[in-house]
Amino acid sequence: MRTCSVCSLEKSLDSFPKSSITNGKQYFRSLCKPCYSLKQIPVSKEYRVVNKEAINKYHRSNKLKTRYGISLEEYTRLYLEQEGKCKICNTSDTSPNKNFAVDHCHTTGTVRGLLCSNCNMAIGLLKDNITVLKSAIDYLTGETQKKKGK
């Protein structure tokens, strides 16, 4: 048995098309035959309207796996661990139809947590540079002025 990544229905393996043979093993695609065939032809507007949620879930899942190496389930686990809040500012307010950004180390690729778009942009604009971040903290707390006065 296997669950289709588009329609989320659990089906027997013979309901899934086979993919190419890799390392002498035969693999099955993650989409069932009906969903796979719809993916191969231009999808009608009606299909997209009716299956919008499943299509969005499929694209979100692929994006998470490709960009960050995590599954949608792992994203959900992080979200629940953080109680639906940004790991930096603790806001739970995200824009409509937006998810928290997956923050990761650009050197190692390790996922650090989920951030709101403001915190994610702030860290990105400061280039993940701890020295610059500390300098910004000093600036905000007035420490820069105190150091100059010495």
pLDDT value for 108: 87
E strands, 8-143, where?
10-11, 18-22, 25-28, 101-104, 111-115
Judge if pTM exceeds 0.85.
Answer: no
Q: Tell me: the pLDDT tens digits for 101-131?
A: 999 988 888 999 999 989 999 998 998 899 9
* pLDDT computed for residue 79 by the predictor: 92
Other CB atoms within 10 A of residue 6 CB? 20
**pLDDT given for residue 95 in this prediction:** 61
Average pLDDT over residues 6-24: 81
Residue pLDDT, tens place only, 76-97: 999 999 999 999 999 986 665 6
Q: Is the pLDDT of residue 72 over 60?
A: yes
**If DSSP codes are grouped into helix, strand and coil, which group holds residue 140?**
helix
Say how far apart CA 10 and CA 12 lie, in whole Å: 7
